[in-house]
A and B are shown apart, each in its own frame.
Chain A
Amino acid sequence: MELTKNERELRELYARWLDRATKAGFAISLAAFLLYVGGVVPAFVPPAELPRYWALPVDRFIAATGAPQQWAWLPLLGYSDVLNLAAVALLALVTPLCYARLLPLLAAQREWLQLVLACAQVLVLVIAASGLLAGAG
């Protein structure tokens, strides 16, 4: 069966947004990482000290370093390692962003079933990102 015009449009839109968001995430991650390992901006836990802690389970690592959990890292964005964490978190937001971009097109195409699936997916990813169900260790 031939792909319909609607499906081509949907696929191209998702691919375009995925491409742009992923490239942006790549560039931001790279820039933030260079700031971190280059020592240009101070780190919450300097990279040279990490080998003392990185073999510990996460709970003991948090206890030993005081590293933030949940959204407690947001006020610490001035530290280069925390900035890196934010850059990584941006990658986990690419998919919900791309799905959200599909919603108006799916509505315009009257693809109701796919619209419901996409809305549900955005909701699941937003709940996951909120940290409401993740809990702290």
Chain B
Amino acid sequence: MDAAAIPWWIWPIALFLVSFAIGIVAVLAGVGGGVLFVPIVGSLFPFHVDFVRGAGLLFALAGTLSAGPPLLRGGMASLRLVMPLALVGSIASFAGALVGLALASEVVNTALGVLIVGIAILIWRSRAADAPNVAADHLGALLRLEGEYHDPAAGLRIDWRTHRTLLGLGSFAAIGFIGGIFGLGAGFANVPALNLLMSAPLKVAVGSSGLVISVINSSAAWVYIHRGAVLPLIAVPSILGVMLGSRIGARMLGTTPASVVRRLVIVVMLVAGLRALAKGTGLWS
């Protein structure tokens, strides 16, 4: 069906519904949601990728802001862990957003497609680590990157600390830069960096990733706002949908089996990534 023949008001309603669903899944999967939103909306909706990326950053921002309070109160997001990582990431993300808006849309779509398919494979292949009782490095000890949380699913109180702090900071700089370019929250990379690299327990990694995204995207979003790449008709229904969806997702986080969500996310990302790749290379526009 020709997109031009569809009444304009159908699009914000469709965006709201898609964003609501992504909001639930994103929190459960520990991704910001932008990694689902940008390829899905960029592929299936008639908007230019510049506006999709602007909305994607705000989408991930709104979802993680909304999920933040319950995650913090449940001990699944640690401010102490988030502060240094988000500081580095927000500077890099701002730079990434400037680079991203200077690129041609074909380049962005192709690179986005490759990135999303790559991330889907990474998520598929990676295994979450249990919380090993690691010894903190000097910088981690100085920043006191440690804490505790109650896992309602396991009925246990888990004490944790992280290590490899410098590597972690470097990773968040790289992740923030890529997220800024593509308008993604980049939780797909935050969670493995926190869990596999720094050895934070998976649920702390997921919760803290959300809080990191809320800080990082606050920085990059301004680049898109100032450049005029935020269209309220696209951004606002997406924001409203994800804010409602992620609240529900955050409440389900303690009890939902992560493996089911993971499989769903991988399939959606593969489809959306291949579609973005086909669009970028002109195979299917």
Contacts and interface: CB of A to CB of B under 8 A. Distances in A.
A70 B226 contact: yes
A55 interface: yes
B140 interface: no
B142 interface: yes
B65 A128 contact: no
Question: For the side of the interface on B, what is the size category?
Answer: 35 or more
A29 B98 contact: no
A3 B147 contact: yes
B235 A96 contact: no
Given A22-B65, A91-B62, A84 B8 contact: no
B236 A84 contact: yes
B228 A68 contact: yes
Contacts of A67: 228
Interface string A47-89: 1101100111110011000011111000000000100110111
B94 A128 contact: yes
A68 to B, nearest CB: 7
B69 A19 contact: yes
B218 A96 contact: yes
A81 B231 CA distance: 8
Interface in A18-62: 18-19, 21-22, 25-26, 29-30, 32-33, 36-37, 47-48, 50-51, 54-58, 61-62
Contacts of A124: 87, 90-91, 94, 219
A6 B185 CA distance: 30
Interface string A122-137: 0011001101011111
A76 B23 CA distance: 32
B143 interface: yes
Given A1-B159, A54-B48, A69-B228, A11 B73 contact: yes
Contacts of B91: 124
B67 to A, nearest CB: 9
B148 interface: yes
A95 B215 contact: yes
Interface string B83-100: 110110011001000100
Contacts of A48: 8
Given A22-B65, A29-B236, A54-B47, A133 B94 contact: yes
B198 interface: no
Nearest to B225: A89
Interface string B208-241: 0000001101111111011111111111110110
A33 B79 contact: no
B231 A128 contact: no
Interface of A: 1-3, 7, 10-12, 14-16, 18-19, 21-22, 25-26, 29-30, 32-33, 36-37, 47-48, 50-51, 54-58, 61-62, 67-71, 81, 84-85, 87-89, 91-96, 99, 113-114, 117-118, 120-121, 124-125, 128-129, 131, 133-137
